[in-house]
Chains A and B, each alone.
Chain A
Amino acid sequence: MNRRQFLTGAGAAAVLAGCRWKGVAPKPELPPGTLGGPDHQHGHLLRSGSLPEPSRERRVGIAIVGAGIGGLACAWRLQRNGVSNFEVFELEKEVGGNSRAGENRVSKHPLGAHYLPVPPPSLRPLRELLAELGVLTGDPYAERPTYDEAYLCAAPQERLFAGGKWHEGLLPESWIPPSEREPIARFLRRMECFKQARGVDGKLAFTFPVRDSSQDPIWTDFDKMSFKEWMEREGFQSPELAAHLNYACRDDFGTDFGLVSAWAGIHYFAARRGKAANGDDDHYLTRPEGNLWLANGLAHPVRDRISTQRLAVRMETQNGAPFVDFLHVATGEVERIHADLVVWASPLFLLPFVWRDMPAPAITASKQFTHAPWVVANLELSRRPLDRPGAEMAWDNVIRESGSLGYVVATHQIPRVLEGPTTLTWYQPLTLDDPASERTRLLGRTRESVAEEVLADLEQVHPDIRACCTRLDVWRWGHAMVRPTVGFLWHSDRRWFEQQTGQVLFAHSDLSGMSLFEEAFLHGVRAADQIGTQKSTIDSPGTQGVG
């Protein structure tokens, strides 16, 4: 009997190649799923330079390029300010940028950004947005407003897998060795001090938006060293604290804490001052769809002024007025939009490819921006997986010894007693190599190879994850977030883009050097308000065809 006979003999059972046991099994079958991501193919068109000339042109008052949080916030604020002659252009089919979401048979789930810390009263426009969406009730400017409890992240919020067990919290007492408790407590006290700290200019040392933080060198000099160096210099001798800070930096900045500016690292811990009447301090808002509810809330009032699948391919100033050429990626047509003002609400690294008469300092400045690539995977599970002992499944589940950031549970906010099918959203910033190499490698990967890595990572904590995973969708972010590396925030040309003069304004979280909802939102609002003050100069007839 040869191999073929044997296989035939084993009959239909042999088809079930998914069998795994005792570790040396044949390669198991993967659950189905898709590979998605931002439209990098059309993005790469920009580099090739061979683009058709415009076949149509028309005029708008304000052209907003990009419908991520920055662009949407700008449009939303313009509308609130009574300005209506604007239009938003977005490359993707959906608005929201990093806040976009997906959906499987079980639930909606995030593809990127997935929570918002409750904002302090100083972030008035953000409070106004939350009140408009009905998530915040009562006085929107109160120190401790009341939030809709469906949005406040439910308990248990976080757990850490370490030493073969789950522990409640990310710096859990049940795991931290006694010798490390003192440095950790000291670190947390220091962060509380930084929350109160101000510079000689009277401004808070660490706050939102980043640009409102104190310019006193006593604080901005923290930008000159890495968070890791700072921690070591301050004598916080604790491997667990180091692991936690590295986790925090990779989570918020997609970058190892040995590269992240200490200023940015401290900002993570010391800039949030939000309080809620019905939640703990520094609590946060989340939904199954991540932050998409915020993006949709911004987009809804201006939805008929948003055009999607429009790639900005050329921007130039002609006779003192700017125009932008947009490629309609579905039809291949190029349309020229003449505008009084352009709000660039897209990643800054694209500018040199688009902006024909880009000022030389801007070109220099834009080259200093680097972006971290990320992978996000959404696992649809037919039931709760087997779990390792210890704390119950939380919203955020972090694995101590893993290159991933663990996962969040998309169904966590759905109030059910029965813990049935669910969706886990797995995150991984790619930080082993420099971003460009990681990005190239990422774009060459298949869904299958990522899915295999995701399942292997989660198998450490959920041994039967393959048995209950019915779908696994992978999302690749080539340029997920700007990296606040050492020196970038306060000692680079980054700030050129903050000047906001001329006819091109900027509204993107890239400007802040931190990819955070608050930053993107406030840049959008600020651009809109600035347009408001210039309104007299641009009170033009609005949208009209000229070609």
Chain B
Amino acid sequence: MTRSARGGQRVALLVSVFVVASCGLAYELVAGALSSYLLGDSVTQFSTVIGTYLFAMGIGSWASKHVESHLADRFVGIEIAIGILGGFTAPFLFWVFSQPGAPFHICLYTCVMLVGFLVGLEIPLVMRLLETETSFKDLVSQVLSVDYLGSLAVSVLFPLVLAPRLGFVRTGLFFGILNACVALWAIWIFRDRLATPKFTTAQAFGAIALLVGGMVLAGDWTNFVEGKFYDEEIIHSSQSPYQRVVVTRWRNDVRLYLNGNLQFSSRDEYRYHEALVHPILSSHPRPLRVLVLGGGDGLAVREVLKYPGVREVTLVDLDPTMTDLFRHHPLLTRLNQGSLSDKRVTVINGDAFQWLEDHTDAFDVAIVDFPDPSNYAVGKLYTTTFYKILERHLAPGGMAVIQTTSPLLARRSFWTVVNTLESVGLRTAPYHVLVPSFGEWGFVIATRTVWKAPDTIALPTRFVTASTIATMRQFPPDMDRVATEPNRLDNQILVRTYEKEWGPIQ
């Protein structure tokens, strides 16, 4: 071979190292991200996956000394194997997770070990393939720097482009295809050194075909598997910067899950949303301006809009994915009766705390429908500081209602919210309602003067009437009031209480 031909071969091999390094990192990231998504606790998942992977690479590198002949054949074989294994890891793991009782952890770490082992073999083999014509110091510097560059490329692309655009399954398959292409390229480069070039080429093409097929079917696959997971038909699933949003349907029951937690079931959400909205709105003599915090599904807004006197509704919800979905998806707009597109409604996507601080608007009624206080970030929305700011946004005669977790399962948490509201000088009217898919659920109305329940609900409702309100305000002994400290930013006792009460149940 001439000098320049050898040079060309070297560039080609270094380019393959770049691609191979990208693929190696991609499999690692896909496995880490997928297990974080499915199991939660991303730090643990990432550390254990990366640790296992690097360890397996070490074994692979060590084992490379046992490859003594047919270096080119072995290299091509390994590339094909990595392509298939790495590419199909994500769909395989998804499927395993959906099988009840399947050993997900074992499968996860086995896949990671296998792929890591093979990736660990790659670089030593490439170095040996290049060894003959380069000094050791140049060799190490070139191969390793290209290796790291490949890693960098993927580590940037993965969170920015690949995971959001392609999803984990397609990203894995995509890199599988790249690996198989490297195999093809290597076949061409080493065509005069391979034992069975035709058979190997067929293998590489076969692998590419399999992986491309996987890409085409990936969407259906994810739906199929998530369907198993949720046991219902998935009609929407997406990943927003804040949460995983999944909407399911089973017969005529539509359900919304955020990060796997049920938000509503269309069979009984009317109980929740009627109870949230009607007692307060019917008790206000003239509600013109209404503020809804949280509640991006538009279901509370739907109830609010039933009051013809309401002129403006301002909805502040963090996640545009949620509000867009509930503004456009036909099944969901049927459920919220297009409330988010109503001309009286202004949708703002932002941090409720910040929005209240930055604005001075006053409202007749404020409906506070935040997630439960399960961490310190959300817990801030249940503090004296927050309620003082909220109070400043209430017009004269204005009132607020707050969804307040379950007074039965989280009794102390419920009354902590009531006590917190009272500690900033507000009067409270706590009540509760049975929502079958949630259980016994609590709400608190907060006002500046004593709240007077409405005499009638002048609208057609399925659940809330003047007499149900009277019942809702009765607290039997197992949910009865307990004395607690107010929840302040500096103690956040509610988050600790809530964790204690819900921790054993979830």
Contact = CB atoms under 8 A, between A and B. Distances in A.
Q: Tell me if chain B binds chain A.
A: yes
Interface in A367-391: 386-389
Contacts of B376: 155-156, 392
B490 A415 contact: no
A279 B488 contact: yes
B173 interface: no
A417 B353 contact: yes
B46 A386 contact: yes
Contacts of B43: 386-389
A150 B141 CA distance: 54
Contact of B378 (A1, A26, A150, A417): A417
A16 B156 CA distance: 12
A149, A153, A283, A387 interface centre (most CB from chain B within 10 Å): A149
A18 B148 CA distance: 10
Interface in B425-475: none
B386 A415 contact: yes
Given A149-B489, A279-B490, A386-B43, A6 B152 contact: no
Contacts of A150: 385
Contacts of A153: 490
A3 B385 contact: no
Contacts of A360: none
B384 A149 contact: yes
Contacts of A16: 149, 152
A24 interface: yes
B127 to A, nearest CB: 14
Interface stretch (A7-15, A130-138, A223-231): A7-15
A155 B382 CA distance: 13
A20 interface: yes
Given A155-B489, A416-B351, A10 B148 contact: no
A149 B385 contact: yes
Interface in B323-376: 351-354, 357, 375-376
Contact of A14 (B11, B149, B153): B149
Given A3-B138, A3-B141, A21-B155, A416 B354 contact: yes
A26 B148 contact: yes
Contacts of A546: none
B152 A10 contact: no
A432 interface: no
Contacts of B380: 154, 415-417
A441 to B, nearest CB: 33
Nearest to A11: B149
A13 B149 contact: yes
B142 interface: yes
A413 to B, nearest CB: 8
A14, A389, A415 interface centre (most CB from chain B within 10 Å): A415
A26 B42 CA distance: 28
A53 interface: no
A443 interface: no
Given A3-B138, A16-B149, A417-B378, A155 B490 contact: yes
Contacts, number: 108
B41, B141, B357, B489 interface centre (most CB from chain A within 10 Å): B489
A154 B490 contact: yes
Given A152-B490, A392-B375, A14 B10 contact: no
A13 B153 contact: yes
Main secondary structure of the interface of A (DSSP, over half): loop
B240 interface: no
B145, B376, B490 interface centre (most CB from chain A within 10 Å): B490
A188 interface: no
A9 B12 CA distance: 11
B219 interface: no
A446 interface: no
A22 interface: yes
A3, A14, A278, A417 interface centre (most CB from chain B within 10 Å): A417
A1 B148 contact: no
Contacts of B383: 149
B243 interface: no
A19 B149 CA distance: 6
Nearest to B154: A21
A25 interface: yes
Nearest to B388: A149
By size class, the interface of chain A is: 35 or more
A160 to B, nearest CB: 17
A16 B386 CA distance: 45
Interface in A400-435: 415-419
A280 interface: yes
Interface string B1-42: 000000100110010001000000100000000000000011
A122 B10 CA distance: 79
Interface string A258-293: 000000000000000000001110010000000000
Contact of A280 (B18, B41, B491): B491
B403 interface: no
Given A149-B489, A417-B380, A419-B377, A10 B351 contact: no
B381 interface: yes
A416 B376 CA distance: 11
Contact of B381 (A13, A21, A155, A417): A417
Nearest to B356: A415
B352 to A, nearest CB: 7
Interface string A6-44: 100110011010111110111000000000000000000
Contacts of A149: 383-385, 488-490
A417 B489 contact: no
Contact of B148 (A9, A20, A388): A20
A100 B33 CA distance: 42
Contact of A156 (B10, B145, B354, B492): B492
B44, B357, B488 interface centre (most CB from chain A within 10 Å): B488
Given A389-B41, A418-B318, A18 B152 contact: yes
Contacts of A14: 145, 149
Nearest to B44: A389
Given A21-B151, A149-B384, A155-B376, A417 B351 contact: yes
Contacts of A387: 43
Contacts of B42: 386
Given A6-B14, A155-B490, A416 B151 contact: no
Interface in A328-356: none
Contacts of B492: 154-156
A388 B380 CA distance: 23
A19 B377 contact: no
Nearest to B486: A278
Interface in A81-136: none
A154 B489 contact: yes
A417 B11 contact: no
A449 B491 CA distance: 39
B146 interface: yes
Nearest to A420: B351
Contacts of A1: 7, 10-11
A374 to B, nearest CB: 27
Nearest to B490: A152
B152 A21 contact: yes
B441 to A, nearest CB: 22
A10 B488 contact: no
Given A6-B142, A13-B153, A415 B357 contact: yes
A261 B341 CA distance: 69
A20 B25 CA distance: 12
Given A149-B385, A149-B488, A418-B318, A25 B351 contact: no
The 4 closest A-B pairs by CB, nearest first: A155-B492, A19-B152, A154-B489, A21-B151
